[in-house]
């Protein structure tokens, strides 16, 4: 990079059935979004242990996003509901660790929502950029 | 081949290639404006300048016209190149200061403003338009005229070209959007409408039909392709690096020998163009419901925004008009799905645009399906306005292009309202080509062109062995369509049982290498995917980087890693380098993981020792203008994949022996049909009925609208079931306990205190439902107040009370569609119509009144509603908050209600009052639900795995349902679902063993302390808490049923002690990927 502007690093946990497919569709549709996201494929948003989120953010990730199927569309009936139930706990824990809750997001993106995937990542990148580097960044 | 050096990188290209092509082929970006792959190099824009280093000096030249030669050295990013390129762009920017592409390119080189005086031209004289017109389209309608500063692109004599074919190629290639076709030709260009976007957007002549297309490959539309029309162009062949364009391809005729055929040609929408009065195709803001679906779609023409095509503005008021092309004189059927899709569209539209005012004009709200009425009520709560009227016309307001609808209000007043958009809810009809298809197979069609099926045989056509499913046999929704699809398969399977499995071939694999205890030896294969990855990221540097990662012993790049020769090469390299992990960095595992896993297996490597990095769909394709970032991210993604690969373990798919017998619970028409189909397929069936007789509710059905002989059908079914050697019938019996899971259930059948244990591989729940016993309208107090079922008995028996009746009043929705039971019982409207017609036919002097809320004679039943009215049955609507009242005076009955149109009370003197009593779930459904771990919905009907797509299955494998236990439905619908349930069960029973997923949960007994946190969240009830003695004390742990677990991982995320994990997605594996992402290069 020519300038020294802060480039956030965002970890995305995307469920295999909807949001990972949505990310693929964004690609197939050549929708451009910032290159700050690193996707970890999981089978369901309900598979993501809160510790994975906390660890990522306390090891220096500037943001973490979990993406799942829309409520009611979960491949595993209601794994996404369970992911949503954990959201508050994750936010409370982040508060204890001194991490702004805005660094963590939970979004529902379907396999047909390529444009939405690109939009969400654009927004997330900008909002995390505005927050500045993670307090845990080395 | 020749070798040259570009930016210190040795590259190999074919002889005759230009420097620009050589650079492009190897992912080195050189900007250009006048280059187009299918046109001869031209050298007009001078943006692609590079420095050519000679032995003594170096010089600047345009790379697009300079042939590469052996040993030449080229630099694309020296200060001299950039300075000259900047100058060229500054000059171009001065000429065309408003051209977006030039502005963007200039900005990319740090130029915001040109120092030269602006000329406000829009053409850079690159000649792309003249070249494509002459070289590719063979027309030559436009050309350069004049010289020097007067040079311009124009037609001869600046007049409309007589030879231009308005193909639009010049517009497509122009980098500055300078072409105005109306200046070139008087021919009007004919845009190609996208079929997928229902004409709301365009498409090209070579295109992928829709994002979910299978296979997802491009097709050429021969009707619009210039090559097929005029023998010209062939540009796509130049662009396709895979060489996949084949203009010679012809249809191939293949012959297959089959024993049964299932026809599923689907439906078409009624063409709203035929309703001129509603303004479709005349007014831009009158659209069809399918067009509105596209507007709502995130992949639609406006990316999910609801915009009017006339002015691209958000509408504020949208109206839907129902029954367009349905319930008419010449199409006298109800399309069954439009009421609900319009409601859905309105709800989703309001989600997109909460202040949107949605109005639905309808005749009867036919929300007859499972859960539909609750959805309808929700729409009303959300503010969707329903107006009971079919507007006769739609008129456009000049200027605003808004639309005026005149309609009659509930009170009879005529009023006019304006809307910004009108959606026509078009009905379903058989596809045009279907007549030919039907002729070929000798299948009879009915008067509307739907397949003519007979009662009790909903998926059978007039031709034995030819089955039908879906809307081809009459309009229907997705669940019924899916059900019939399985039913068709079930019938075909019974017919062809001797042939089952005879066409299956098994692939042979070498024995699997034991890699346990080995240090990981990882091979990384990075794909160029033609230019899809290599054109944007520096693949060779990704490969070099991969070689530096721990445990990577081999890394290489491939033009296409998925090609057959590369698969062969990977197999060889696995053996040669003794690789025990493979990483492919290419596209999406969702499409290509199975292929590469198979390659691993071919090499004797466990297929789960494979990992993918998605550097195309999720990197180069979405960062096309950021080659450096794309390269860096590719390296990161490869590092993450390698980090996970190091922790991968070989996994195996467990297998489970399958018991091939079935258990069917319930001996009504659904249960008997399911049992018979399974037995016809060759399976042994245990049929359990709690009553003394088989038949269930069907015993009380004495006639059907289609004239079928119900009692004969009942007796035939009972005879077939009881005499079938493979069906064991257990009368007056109940299931008292059940254990096991898919493939291996054990259920206890109790009869007269005696228990029998039955082993079975699948279970079909056909426990039925009951008629509601009304507490209202004097039922049970006055013997002349009966239910529709009672009336059917009276008609059948010829009871004098009915014969002598002067008037019969029927009240609909008794116990349905109200707070206690907010669902529609679906069949009562047609049952009332059936009985009313029977009375009027037998006793024309007996007046019949039907008091209804909505008449829901959906699908082809609509015809009987018309017949009933023609026979003089009087239909009187009442409203939920003004229910009828029934009183008895000296033996005579009086029914009173308020007519909402007259807004006046009506009194009907009658001798018999017939109540359309609701269908209510049977006793004992809770017990059955508990036994087989299957859920009920709030109305106590069994809850399917998916409302639309899996109406017969449960989340628990091996358990299926049919009939009224699922929801209210007609006899034929129950039969179709029963055949479908049998087909679904057969998918398990026909196997000797089933393969289980490998990537499922695994309990770490040492970590598990039996806290049981994982048990309740598991959506599949796969866990049981168990206790055992360990070192003298009780140890608690959970036991996972491999047949139930689907690997969703909710348990892994719930467990506080790492006591359970998902194979292939362990916390350590996911954590390693995160760590790898964070450490950076």
The CATH number of the domain holding residue A46 is 3.40.50
pLDDT classification of A138: cutoffs 50, 70, 90: low
Contact B419, B429 (CB under 8 A): no
pLDDT tens-place string over residues B16-67: 999 999 998 887 889 999 999 999 999 999 999 999 999 899 999 999 999 9
Alpha-carbon distances, residue B65 vs B8, B33, B60, B241 (angstroms): 21, 13, 12, 21
- The pLDDT score that the predictor gives to residue B565 is 87
Does residue B210 form part of some domain? yes
User: What local confidence, expressed as pLDDT, does residue A4 receive?
Assistant: 55
**Same structural domain for residues B664 and B759?**
yes
Yes or no, beta carbons of A82 and B1065 under 8 Å apart: no
**pLDDT for res B1049:** 97
Is-contact B394 B320, C-beta < 8 A? no
pLDDT at B630: 96
| Residue B733: partners with Cβ closer than 8 Å, 6 or more residues away | B688, B689, B690, B749, B750, B751
- The stretch B953-971 carries a mean pLDDT of 95
> Is residue A96 in a domain?
yes
Q: Does A81 touch chain B (CB under 8 A)?
A: no
In a domain, A138, yes or no: no
The answer to whether the CB of B1038 falls within 8 A of the CB of B1024 is: yes
In a domain, B123, yes or no: no
Residue A122 domain-assigned (yes or no): yes
Does B421 share its domain with B273?
yes
Task: Check if the beta carbon of residue B1056 is closer than 8 Å to that of residue B1010.
Answer: no
Q: What is the pLDDT of residue B910?
A: 96
Number of domains in chain B: 9
SS3 content of chain A, % helix, strand, coil (to 5): 45, 15, 40
DSSP B265-277: ---EE--GGG-GG
**pLDDT reading at A1 higher than 50:** no
Q: Per-residue pLDDT tens for B100-112?
A: 999 999 998 999 8
**CATH number of the domain to which B606 belongs:** 3.40.50
Task: Summarize pLDDT for B231-288 with one digit per residue, the tens.
Answer: 999 999 999 888 899 999 999 999 999 999 999 999 999 999 889 999 999 999 999 9
Range of the domain at A47: 3-129
Smallest CA-to-CA distance from B668 within B692, B695, B691 is with B695
Across all residues in chain A, what is the average pLDDT? 93
Residue A135 domain flag: no
Integer-rounded Cα radius of gyration of chain A: 14
pLDDT at B683: 98
DSSP A92: H
Q: Is residue B728 part of a domain?
A: yes
Is residue B126 within 8 A of residue B42, CB to CB? The reply is yes
Q: What is the CATH number of the domain that holds B424?
A: 3.50.50.60
Are B284 and B422 contained in the same domain?
yes
Same domain flag for B484 and B564: no
Q: Specify if A117 maps to a domain.
A: yes
| Structure confidence by residue, pLDDT tens digits, B704-751 | 999 999 999 999 999 999 999 999 999 999 999 999 989 999 999 999
Q: Is residue B510 part of a domain?
A: no
Which residue of chain A comes nearest to B1049, CA vs CA?
A47
- Which of B428, B453, B482 is the last residue before a domain boundary? B428
Residue-level pLDDT at B330: 87
Q: What are phi and psi of B475, to 5 degrees?
A: -60, 135
Chain B hits for A110, CB-CB cut-off 8 Å, are 298
Question: Is there a single domain that holds both residue B79 and residue B201?
Answer: no
- Least confident piece of the model among B132-141, B204-213, B418-427, B838-847: B204-213
Same domain, B775 and B873: yes
In a domain, A116, yes or no: yes
- What pLDDT, on the 0 to 100 scale, is given for residue A3? 40
Same domain for B1021 and B875: no
Name residue, tokens 């009158």. B286
Mutation for A interface: B651, B1053, B1056, B1061, most A CBs within 10 A: B1053
Q: B1040's torsion region: left (phi>0), alpha (psi -120 to 50) or beta?
A: beta
| Structure-token match 């639905």, residue found | B360
* Per-residue pLDDT tens digits for B512-526: 999 989 999 999 999
Residue A136 maps to a domain: no
pLDDT at res. B432: 92
Claim to verify: residue B28 and residue B58 sit in the same structural domain: yes
Under a CB-based contact definition with an 8 Å cutoff, are residues B169 and B136 in contact?
Answer: yes
Whether A131 contacts chain B with CB within 8 A:
no
For A:5-24, CB contacts with B below 8 A are: 9, 11, 13, 16, 20-21, 23-24
Mean pLDDT of the B157-161 span: 94
What φ, ψ does residue B810 adopt, rounded to 5°?
-110, 135
Mean pLDDT across chain B: 94
Domain shared by B777 and B890, yes or no? yes
Residues B971, B915, single domain; the answer is no
Q: Where are the alpha helices (DSSP H) in B44-154?
A: 79-95, 100-108, 128-131
Enumerate the residues of chain B whose CB falls inside 8 A of the CB of residue A23.
Answer: 617-618
> Does residue A89 belong to the interface with chain B, where contact is any CB pair within 8 Å?
no
Q: Domain count for chain A, please give it.
A: 1
Residues B874 and B814 reside in one and the same domain: yes
Q: What is the pLDDT at residue B1006? A: 93
Q: Does residue B477 carry a pLDDT above 90?
A: yes
Q: Which of A41, A43, A52 sits opposite B1048 (nearest CB)?
A: A43
Domain, as residue range, for B453: 434-499
C-beta of residue B848 within 8 angstroms of C-beta of residue B836: yes
In a domain, B1045, yes or no: yes
The C-alpha of B590 sits at a distance from chain A's nearest C-alpha, in angstroms, of 8
Q: How far apart are CA B418 and CA B402, in angstroms?
A: 7
Q: Stretch B989-1002: mean pLDDT, rounded?
A: 94
Nearest residue in chain A measured CA to CA from B212: A112
Please answer yes or no on whether B298 and A55 come within 8 Å at the CB atom. no
Nearest to B62 by CA among B42, B39, B82: B42
Residue B516 inside a domain? The answer is no
Hey, is B785 helix, strand or coil?
Answer: strand
Across the range B665-670, mean pLDDT stands at 97
- Indicate the pLDDT class of residue B217, thresholds 50, 70 and 90: confident
Strand arrangement, sheet containing B733-741: B733-741, B744-751, B754-760
CA B388 to chain centre: 32
DSSP at B601:
H
Instruction: Give long-range contacts, CB 8 A cutoff, 24+ apart: B1022-1029.
Output: B1022/B1046, B1023/B1051
Closest CA to A135 of A105, A94, A106, A107: A94
Side-chain-facing half-sphere of B317: CA atoms under 13 Å: 11
Same domain, B888 and B985: no
> Residues B1039, B1026: contact at Cβ < 8 Å?
yes
Residue B983's pLDDT band (cuts 50, 70, 90):
very high
CB B533 within 8 A of CB B561: no
- Tokens describing residue B658: 């399958």
Instruction: Please check whether residue B114 lies inside any domain of the structure.
Output: no
Final residue before a domain boundary, out of B580, B612, B645? B645
B565: buried, middle or exposed (CB in 10 Å: 19+, 13-18, 0-12)? exposed
Q: Under a CB-based contact definition with an 8 Å cutoff, are residues B637 and B682 in contact? A: no
Say whether A40 and B590 touch across the interface (CB within 8 A): no
A137 is a domain residue: no
Contact B306, B356 (CB under 8 A): yes
> Has residue B329 got a pLDDT over 80?
yes
> In angstroms, how far is CA B471 from the centroid of its own chain?
16
Question: Is the torsion defined by CA of B582, B586, B587, B592 positive or negative?
Answer: negative
């Amino acid at each position: 990079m020519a300038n020294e502007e802060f480039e956030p690093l965002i970890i995305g946990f995307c469920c295999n059935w909807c949001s990972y497919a949505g990310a693929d569709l964004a690609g197939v549709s050549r929708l451009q979004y910032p290159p700050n996201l690193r996707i970890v494929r999981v089978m369901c948003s309900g598979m993501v242990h809160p510790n994975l989120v906390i660890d990522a953010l306390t090891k220096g990730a500037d943001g973490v996003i979990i993406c799942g199927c829309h409520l009611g569309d979960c491949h595993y009936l209601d794994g996404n509901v369970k992911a949503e139930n954990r959201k508050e706990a994750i936010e409370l824990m982040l508060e204890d660790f001194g991490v702004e809750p805005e660094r963590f997001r939970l979004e529902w993106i379907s396999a047909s929502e390529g444009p939405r995937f690109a939009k969400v990542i654009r927004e997330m990148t900008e909002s995390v950029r505005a927050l500045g580097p993670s307090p845990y960044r080395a | 081949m020749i070798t040259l050096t570009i930016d210190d990188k040795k590259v190999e290209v074919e002889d005759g290639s230009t420097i620009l092509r050589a650079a492009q082929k190897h992912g080195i970006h050189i900007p250009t404006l006048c280059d187009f792959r299918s046109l001869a190099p031209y050298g007009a824009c001078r943006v692609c300048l590079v420095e050519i280093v000679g032995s003594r000096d170096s010089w600047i030249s345009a790379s697009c016209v300079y042939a590469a030669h052996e040993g030449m050295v080229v630099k694309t990013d020296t200060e001299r190149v950039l300075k000259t390129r900047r100058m060229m762009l500054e000059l171009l920017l001065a000429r065309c200061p408003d051209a977006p592409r030039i502005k963007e390119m200039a900005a990319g080189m740090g130029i915001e403003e040109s120092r030269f005086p602006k000329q406000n031209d829009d053409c850079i004289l690159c000649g792309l338009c003249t070249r494509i017109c002459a070289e590719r389209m063979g027309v030559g309608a436009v050309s350069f005229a004049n010289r020097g500063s007067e040079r311009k692109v124009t037609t001869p004599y600046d007049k409309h070209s007589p030879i231009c074919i308005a193909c639009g190629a010049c517009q497509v290639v122009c980098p500055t959007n300078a072409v105005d076709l109306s200046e070139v030709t008087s021919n009007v260009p004919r845009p190609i409408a996208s079929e997928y976007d229902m004409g709301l957007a365009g498409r090209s002549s070579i295109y992928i039909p829709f994002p979910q297309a299978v296979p997802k490959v491009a097709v050429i539309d021969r009707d619009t392709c210039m090559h097929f029309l005029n023998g010209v162009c062939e540009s796509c062949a130049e662009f396709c690096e895979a060489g996949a364009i084949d203009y010679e391809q012809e249809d191939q005729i293949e012959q297959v020998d089959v024993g049964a055929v299932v026809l599923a040609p689907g439906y078409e929408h009624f063409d709203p163009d035929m309703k001129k009065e509603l303004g479709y195709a005349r007014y831009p803001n009158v659209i069809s419901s399918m067009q509105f679906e596209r507007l709502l779609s995130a992949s639609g023409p406006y990316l999910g925004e609801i915009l009017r095509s006339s002015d691209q503005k958000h509408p504020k008021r949208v109206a839907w008009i129902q029954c367009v092309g349905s319930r008419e004189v010449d199409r006298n059927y109800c399309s069954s799905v439009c009421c609900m899709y319009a409601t859905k569209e309105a709800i989703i539209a309001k989600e997109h645009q909460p202040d949107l005012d949605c109005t639905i004009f309808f005749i009867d709200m036919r929300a007859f399906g499972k859960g539909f009425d609750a959805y309808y009520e929700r729409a009303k709560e959300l503010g969707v306005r329903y107006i009971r009227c079919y507007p006769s016309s739609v008129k456009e307001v000049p200027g605003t292009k808004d639309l005026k609808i005149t309609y009659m209000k509930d009170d009879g007043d005529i009023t006019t309202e304006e809307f910004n958009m009108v959606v026509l809810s078009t009905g379903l009809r058989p596809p045009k080509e279907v007549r030919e298809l039907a002729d070929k197979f000798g299948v009879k069609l009915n008067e509307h062109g739907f397949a003519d099926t007979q009662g009790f045989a909903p998926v059978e056509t007039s031709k034995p062995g030819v089955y039908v499913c879906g809307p081809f046999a009459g309009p229907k929704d997705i669940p019924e369509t899916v059900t019939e699809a399985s039913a068709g398969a079930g019938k075909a399977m019974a017919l062809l049982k001797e042939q089952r499995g005879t066409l299956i071939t098994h692939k042979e694999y070498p024995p699997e290498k034991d890699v346990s205890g080995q240090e990981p030896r990882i091979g990384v294969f990075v794909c160029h995917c033609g230019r899809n990855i290599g054109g944007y990221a520096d693949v060779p540097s990704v490969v070099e980087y991969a070689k530096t990662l721990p445990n990577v012993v081999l890394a290489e790049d491939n033009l296409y890693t998925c090609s057959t020769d590369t698969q062969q090469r990977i197999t060889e390299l696995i053996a040669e380098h003794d690789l025990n992990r493979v990483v492919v960095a290419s596209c999406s595992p969702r499409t290509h993981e199975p292929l590469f896993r198979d390659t691993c297996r071919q090499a004797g490597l466990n297929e789960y020792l494979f990992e993918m990095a998605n550097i195309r769909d999720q990197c180069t394709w979405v960062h096309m203008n950021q080659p450096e970032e794309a390269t860096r991210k590719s390296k990161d993604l490869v590092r993450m994949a390698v980090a996970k690969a190091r922790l991968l373990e070989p996994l195996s798919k467990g297998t489970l022996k399958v018991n091939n017998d079935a258990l069917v619970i319930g001996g009504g028409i659904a249960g008997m049909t399911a049992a018979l189909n399974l037995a016809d397929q060759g399976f042994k069936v245990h049929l359990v009925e709690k009553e003394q007789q088989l038949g269930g509710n069907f015993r009380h059905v004495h006639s059907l609208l289609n004239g079928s002989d119900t009692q004969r059908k009942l007796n035939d079914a009972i005879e077939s079931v009881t005499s079938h050697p493979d069906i064991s019938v257990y009368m007056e019996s109940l299931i008292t306990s059940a254990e096991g899971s898919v493939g291996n259930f054990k259920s206890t059948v109790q009869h007269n205190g005696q228990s029998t244990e039955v082993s079975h591989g699948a279970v079909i729940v056909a426990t039925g439902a009951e008629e509601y016993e009304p507490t209202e309208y004097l039922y049970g107090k006055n013997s002349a107040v009966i239910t529709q079922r009672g009336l059917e008995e009276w008609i059948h028996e010829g009871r004098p009370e009915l014969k002598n009746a002067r008037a019969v009043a029927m009240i609909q929705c008794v116990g349905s569609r109200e707070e206690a039971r907010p669902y529609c019982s679906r069949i009562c409207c047609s049952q009332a119509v059936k009985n009313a017609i029977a009375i009027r036919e037998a006793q024309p002097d007996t007046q019949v009144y039907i008091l209804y809320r909505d008449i829901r004679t959906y699908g082809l039943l609509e015809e009987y509603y018309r017949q009933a009215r023609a026979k003089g049955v009087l239909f009187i609507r009442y409203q939920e908050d003004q229910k009828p009242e029934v009183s008895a005076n000296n033996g005579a009955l009086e029914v009173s209600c308020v007519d909402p149109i007259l807004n006046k009370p009506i009194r009907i003197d009658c001798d018999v009052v017939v109540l359309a009593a609701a269908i209510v779930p049977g006793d004992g459904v809770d017990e059955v639900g508990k036994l087989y771990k299957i859920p009920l919905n709030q109305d106590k009907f069994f809850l399917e795995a998916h409302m639309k797509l899996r109406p017969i299955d449960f989340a628990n494998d091996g358990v299926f349902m049919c009939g009224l236990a699922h929801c209210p439905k007609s006899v034929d619908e129950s039969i179709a679902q029963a055949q479908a349930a049998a087909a679904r069960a057969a998918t398990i029973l026909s196997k000797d063993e089933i393969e289980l997923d490998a990537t499922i949960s695994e309990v770490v007994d040492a970590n598990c302390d039996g806290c049981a946190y994982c048990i309740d969240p598991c959506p599949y009830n796969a866990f049981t808490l168990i206790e055992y003695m360990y070192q003298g004390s009780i140890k608690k742990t959970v036991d996972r049923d491999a047949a139930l677990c689907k690997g969703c991982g909710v348990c892994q995320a719930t467990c506080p002690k790492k006591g359970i994990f998902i194979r292939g997605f362990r916390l350590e594996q996911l954590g390693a990927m995160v760590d790898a992402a964070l450490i950076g290069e």
